[in-house]
Amino acid sequence: MSQYNAPLNDMNFILFDTFKVQEFWQENAHLSESIDVDTAMAILAESAKVTEEAIAPFSRAADEEGVKFDSGDVTTPASYKDSYNVVAEGGWIGLAGNPEFGGMGMPKSITAMHEEMMCSADLAFALYPGLTAGACLAINAHASEELKELYLPNMYSGQWTGSMCLTEAHAGTDLGLIKTKAVPNDCGSYDITGSKIFISGGEHDLTENIIHLVLAKLPDAPEGSRGISLFLVPKINVDAQGNLQEPNAVSCGSIEHKMGIHTSATCVINFDGAKGYLVGEVNKGLAAMFTMMNYERLLVGLQGLGAAERSYQNAKLYAMDRGQGKGVERMTDKDCDPIVVHPDVRRMLLNMRAMNEAARAFGTYVSIQLDVAKFSDDKEQAKLADAKAQLLTPIAKAFVTDTSLEGCIAGQQVLGGHGYVREWGQEQLVRDCRITQIYEGTNGIQALDLMGRKVAMDKGATLNSIIDEIKAFASDNNSVNASLMSELNKAADLLKETADTVLAEAATDKNAIGAASVDFLHLAGYVLYAYMWAKMVVAAESLEGNEALAESKKLTANYYFARLLPRIHSLKAQIESGAELLYTFSAEQV
Amino acid sequence: MSQYNAPLNDMNFILFDTFKVQEFWQENAHLSESIDVDTAMAILAESAKVTEEAIAPFSRAADEEGVKFDSGDVTTPASYKDSYNVVAEGGWIGLAGNPEFGGMGMPKSITAMHEEMMCSADLAFALYPGLTAGACLAINAHASEELKELYLPNMYSGQWTGSMCLTEAHAGTDLGLIKTKAVPNDCGSYDITGSKIFISGGEHDLTENIIHLVLAKLPDAPEGSRGISLFLVPKINVDAQGNLQEPNAVSCGSIEHKMGIHTSATCVINFDGAKGYLVGEVNKGLAAMFTMMNYERLLVGLQGLGAAERSYQNAKLYAMDRGQGKGVERMTDKDCDPIVVHPDVRRMLLNMRAMNEAARAFGTYVSIQLDVAKFSDDKEQAKLADAKAQLLTPIAKAFVTDTSLEGCIAGQQVLGGHGYVREWGQEQLVRDCRITQIYEGTNGIQALDLMGRKVAMDKGATLNSIIDEIKAFASDNNSVNASLMSELNKAADLLKETADTVLAEAATDKNAIGAASVDFLHLAGYVLYAYMWAKMVVAAESLEGNEALAESKKLTANYYFARLLPRIHSLKAQIESGAELLYTFSAEQV
């Protein structure tokens, strides 16, 4: 695989020119002391260095090596220890962590960029620090002070990693079915017994300890999802000073053999009366997990983007170098031109870049909602931002990963046969990216969450506030690019119209939401990406000192509106076919 | 992976009820003696048995085992020898072969069904007999009688396999750049020297000999693609009686490590002054290869379909079995229903089935054109059929494989995390299917072939004849389903309108064809699939003795028109954005 070059220019443009995140930082008491533009740029530049030099060069060989399982022990690739130490020692795992316990307290808009770079460098590697940071979020939000003091500093520092133990063999999407038991014991803790599957980083050799967050049920718990509690279960028990004690009754039964992310250990983890500590309230485990879910799901979207960005970079390099055929306008006087001269190769590359840059902007837009919800002192503003983040998160997870897979496939296609051969790395990106559509709630579940909970439950109010924001933006910036703003306005109307149609159908058909959901999520995604491109065009208009970037943004916005946004028309028609059609078939007939 | 069940009912419905292939067989002197409905059904039933029992059960384990390379030798999976012997001894490799030399002379409409079944059972395995049959086609069409007599019988019988040696490291799509040399020697043959890459089945341990068809240039050959000749180069030399002699100067330098088709040996083959025999005329090698290209490209489409059909079957079984969540209307009284109850799962399965059955019908439609072109005594009819086959083939290759990959991804998604784990086989189908979009000419090249050669070169005449055929069919069958036929008619108009737009643009912009090509190929594909569904609806209307199938066809046709055909609207808009847009960017800016 070729060298990875972190897209710092684009990141800085999106953060500081397009969204002007520094304005919120400056006016906010929590953030103004810890972050400003210079600090942020320095952090991102350092992140670029770490990911480009200490992680990306090893991702191809690491995939071939994979993780090995032997009698309960998991061995990661040889290069991973050094890479992990660089990440841990750089403090990157605690980048967003609570400063009280050793975290750096950075806003999501910054950590999201870091996460994208990590995933471009090596998606599977990025899961180890990424899941640790996620576990810390849940612990910080819900655990007792005692647990926080004991565990957070060593997790932020990377001395210990974290894992999330949710899924059981018979309970994936439907967590209400889990059977893992938690029985209170004499020490005030719980004995956890059960078997979990698909546990990323459930066992490995990167750190001396692993802190599992485990969903389990108390003996007298209510049926279904209302009876789930959350527990912290260390692999190795820890005394009050954080010293390692005897091993806990936690073991790795096996690891999965998967399509991709070969270096991420996906484990069966068995708890045989393991000592666990309650996190949050009894029977409120699912809610506790959900507080971190938006962050995790946004991270998964960024994983997809990371893969698609790397794929674009490889494909672009190849297209500039590989000679085959001649262009209508010649690029060289040789017997063939670089394939970037051909229109269809351009189409593939431009599709990828237009989607990637929109995804990066959209990730920032969602991050900003999360930051405002978390840091703003204005409760109304925070509440609205939280509602927006809730609605946008499933789109950031599912739309970004669905279209990122499409991007990775295009990036592979640009290389022809070489894209199918492992040494070039393009096929690895397809295999790695593919998991992002499945885990942390399949993209079908994300779509149900979007339409069923986020859109339908407030009767479209939050969605409409976003649509209003888009329409106001289009109207305010009409002078910048009238035709583009007019298209944006129409696209926003189409989104509203379609949402209204589905909500009306849902009043009489309870399957209406599910039938429309995935297409609707994509429709919303394309409209929001159009909004992102419109924002970037406006920022480009007043950008100083980087004419090449400004021109690229304007051209690419036009490209997006002409060649990608039209997909909304088909999606609308598909949605309007309704739910009843799906049930003209019996189960056997499907 | 679950058991494969060959879709014989659907195949018989498509062949004998929808297209009534037996009518052409009966009226044709060449075919009426060798094939009738009963014989054809018996052949397909036997093919089902062979693929279900002797191939499909081993595909998962074989993928894990892969092919091994050691000092020039390639070892295939242990199970492959037995599977191969069953296929060879059953005469399946010569199914379409010339009866003069031991082939069975079956029409393509029958062999296409066999090929689909082979590829559902194991796409990578199917390449060994599939490429042999392809090589036989070229030999039969262009080689001397002497070469035919010497090689065809042993290839049809499967005693020897064949390979196609086209690509070189610097020459993939652009074969005019090849450097392999052919120097005439004293024996009337040629000494072939050069190195070929990406040679499927270039070396293996299934047979005692391998017959390579090699593109090379004579010392005085014209530049570019007009100077390419075709040679037959056996791995082991053969005397006039077909007895093996000393090894030829042919060696396997290495094999590729690929995303999928792990059991197909993709070889670097080195020719070091190897003895080769001219096939066809000097400098007409590319044309000789092209005579078999339509068959090969259709086969690749069927490979995609084969994978997507297997993926559908696995996903359907899983969806009927896996309990998770509850349906709006309950299917069981347990604490969860099978996931087939959920609308989005239905959407995924129905998308797959609607596309697969249309692909099967479309493969038959194209096969019929090939059969009429080959067997008809009516020269006008044969010529028109040939022109149609030429135009439809790139669609059968690229549209079928692009949408089959989409199907395989959906089939993997239905299984959630289990779809990502190797043991279930769904991810293998994605990896295997992915190559079909790349080899035998990438799908981008297919689209250029469609628009640039097949549509533009006769100014749309052949395309218009197909559009007229569709419109006439819609009009003739209005009484069967007026709304569906009206939609079909509109879709045909939209296809014509879009083609006209691009052809008009192409008059002033030479990049217009390339810029529109992939989207246009997809647009044509969706319209042709609509035609296939309309044909199946009409056949279902008068089908006797199988009400379940008739009902399924009618429901699925409605589904296709409502949920899949609308994609044409976005494609049209994307095409209309034109070529100029792609060249507003410099090469660096892409």
Which of B348, B404, B420 best probes binding to A when mutated, by most A CB atoms within 10 angstroms? B420
The Cα–Cα gap between A416 and A345 comes to 11
The pLDDT, as a whole number, for residue B289 is 87
On whether the B159-283 domain is CATH 2.40.110.10, my answer is: yes
pLDDT (mean) for B489-510: 97
pLDDT (mean) for A168-184: 93
pLDDT (mean) for A367-377: 96
CA distance B309 to chain A (A): 14
The Cα–Cα gap between A389 and A363 comes to 11
Looking at the DSSP bridge assignments, the partners of residue B254 are B268
Closest CA to A500 of A523, A474, A471: A523
Fold entry, domain A8-153: Butyryl-Coa Dehydrogenase, subunit A; domain 1 (1.10.540)
Cβ pair A405:B405 closer than 8 A: no
The pLDDT, as a whole number, for residue A1 is 62
**And the tokens for B493?**
């108009």
pLDDT (mean) for B80-101: 98
Please state, rounded to an integer, the average pLDDT across all residues of chain B.
97
Predicted confidence band of residue A211 (pLDDT cuts 50, 70, 90): very high
pLDDT (mean) for B564-588: 97
Give residues with Cβ within 8 angstroms of A318, minimum separation 6. Answer: A339, A414, A415, A418, A424
Cβ pair B448:A344 closer than 8 A: yes
| Position A406, amino acid | E
Return the residue of A nearest to B515 by Cα.
A343
Q: Is B410 an interface residue toward A (CB < 8 Å)?
A: no
The Cα–Cα gap between B436 and B445 comes to 13
- Decide: helix, strand or coil at residue B339: helix
The Cα–Cα gap between A169 and B538 comes to 46
Helix axis angle, A343-375 relative to B512-541, nearest 10°? 80
The pLDDT, as a whole number, for residue A30 is 87
Residue A128 CA: distances (Å) to CA of A43, A159, A202, A429, B192: 20, 12, 10, 18, 53
CA distance B220 to chain A (A): 18
CA distance B336 to chain A (A): 9
Q: Which residue has the higher pLDDT, A2 or B112?
A: B112
Cα B106–chain centre separation: 17
Cβ pair B437:A413 closer than 8 A: yes
pLDDT (mean) for B255-259: 98
CA distance A256 to chain B (A): 6
The pLDDT, as a whole number, for residue B195 is 98
The Cα–Cα gap between A225 and A476 comes to 46
Cβ(B319)–Cβ(B339) below 8 Å: yes
The Cα–Cα gap between B246 and B554 comes to 61
pLDDT tens sequence across A518-569 = 999 999 999 999 999 999 999 999 999 999 999 999 999 999 999 999 999 9
* CB contacts, 8 Å: B427 with chain A: 258-259, 434
- Decide: helix, strand or coil at residue A178: coil
Cβ pair B510:A328 closer than 8 A: yes
Which of B259, B430, B568 best probes binding to A when mutated, by most A CB atoms within 10 angstroms? B259
Catalytic residue among A440, A469, A544, A588: A440
Q: Is A455 an interface residue toward B (CB < 8 Å)?
A: no
The pLDDT, as a whole number, for residue A45 is 98
ipTM over 0.95: yes
* CB contacts, 8 Å: A323 with chain B: 170
Tell me the percentage of chain B whose pLDDT exceeds 90.
Answer: 96
CA distance A30 to chain B (A): 40
Q: Is B257 an interface residue toward A (CB < 8 Å)?
A: yes
Q: Is B169 an interface residue toward A (CB < 8 Å)?
A: no
pLDDT (mean) for B202-211: 98
Query: DSSP state, B250?
Result: E
The pLDDT, as a whole number, for residue B173 is 85
The answer to whether residue B252 scores a pLDDT higher than 70 is: yes
* CB contacts, 8 Å: A350 with chain B: 582, 585, 590
Q: Residue A520 belongs to what H/E stretch?
A: helix A512-541
Catalytic residue among B357, B440, B487, B505: B440
CB-nearest partner of A585 from B323, B514, B555: B555
Q: Is B508 an interface residue toward A (CB < 8 Å)?
A: no
The pLDDT, as a whole number, for residue A237 is 98
CA distance B99 to chain A (A): 36
Return the residue of B nearest to A553 by Cα.
B589
The pLDDT, as a whole number, for residue B504 is 97
CB-nearest partner of A420 from B259, B412, B577: B259
Residue B195 CA: distances (Å) to CA of A172, B199, B267, B421: 51, 10, 10, 37
pLDDT (mean) for A334-347: 96
Predicted confidence band of residue B294 (pLDDT cuts 50, 70, 90): confident
Question: Which one of 3.30.230.10, 3.20.20.140, 3.10.580.10, 1.10.540.10 gives the CATH number of domain B8-68+76-153?
Answer: 1.10.540.10
Which of B346, B356, B427 best probes binding to A when mutated, by most A CB atoms within 10 angstroms? B346
* CB contacts, 8 Å: B338 with chain A: 587
Predicted confidence band of residue A377 (pLDDT cuts 50, 70, 90): very high
The pLDDT, as a whole number, for residue A39 is 97
| Position B183, amino acid | V
pLDDT tens sequence across B540-560 = 999 999 999 999 999 999 999
* CB contacts, 8 Å: B514 with chain A: 342-344
Q: Is A346 an interface residue toward B (CB < 8 Å)?
A: yes
The answer to whether residue A283 scores a pLDDT higher than 90 is: yes
Q: Is A507 an interface residue toward B (CB < 8 Å)?
A: no
The pLDDT, as a whole number, for residue A2 is 75
Cβ(B262)–Cβ(B242) below 8 Å: no
The Cα–Cα gap between B125 and B65 comes to 13
CB-nearest partner of B328 from A343, A421, A510: A510
Q: Is B9 an interface residue toward A (CB < 8 Å)?
A: no
DSSP per residue, A202-246: SS-SSSSEEEEEEEEB-TTPPSGGGG-EEEEEESEEE-TTS-EEE
Which of A443, A498, A590 best probes binding to B when mutated, by most B CB atoms within 10 angstroms? A590
The answer to whether residue A391 scores a pLDDT higher than 70 is: yes
CA distance A208 to chain B (A): 28
Cβ pair B515:A343 closer than 8 A: yes
CA distance A419 to chain B (A): 9
On whether the A160-282 domain is CATH 2.40.110.10, my answer is: yes
CB-nearest partner of A173 from B324, B340, B346: B324
Q: Residue B462 belongs to what H/E stretch?
A: helix B461-476
Closest CA to A123 of A446, A428, A444, A440: A428
Cβ pair A434:B427 closer than 8 A: yes
The answer to whether residue A185 scores a pLDDT higher than 80 is: yes
The pLDDT, as a whole number, for residue B485 is 98
The pLDDT, as a whole number, for residue B30 is 87
Q: Residue B193 belongs to what H/E stretch?
A: strand B190-200
Q: Is A558 an interface residue toward B (CB < 8 Å)?
A: yes
Cβ pair A320:B258 closer than 8 A: no
Cβ pair B590:A427 closer than 8 A: no
**Does residue B440 carry a catalytic annotation?**
yes
CB pairs under 8 A between A and B: 244
The answer to whether residue B1 scores a pLDDT higher than 70 is: no
Give the start-to-end residue ranges of the domains of chain A.
8-153, 160-282, 442-590
CB-nearest partner of B552 from A405, A551, A589: A589
The Cα–Cα gap between B499 and A220 comes to 68
DSSP per residue, A457-484: TTTTHHHHHHHHHHHHHHHHTTTT-HHH
Q: Is A427 an interface residue toward B (CB < 8 Å)?
A: yes
Helix axis angle, B567-576 relative to B482-506, nearest 10°? 10
Return the residue of A nearest to B575 by Cα.
A563
Q: Is B341 an interface residue toward A (CB < 8 Å)?
A: yes
* CB contacts, 8 Å: A353 with chain B: 590
CA distance A573 to chain B (A): 6
Cβ pair A343:B260 closer than 8 A: no
Q: Is B236 an interface residue toward A (CB < 8 Å)?
A: no
DSSP per residue, A239-282: -TTS-EEEEPSEEEEEE--BSS-TTS-EEEEEEEEEEEEEESST
Estimate the share of chain B in helix, then strand, then coil, as percent rounded to the nearest 5: 60, 15, 25
* CB contacts, 8 Å: B348 with chain A: 444
The Cα–Cα gap between A88 and A208 comes to 13
The answer to whether residue A361 scores a pLDDT higher than 90 is: yes
Q: Is B547 an interface residue toward A (CB < 8 Å)?
A: no
The answer to whether residue A47 scores a pLDDT higher than 70 is: yes
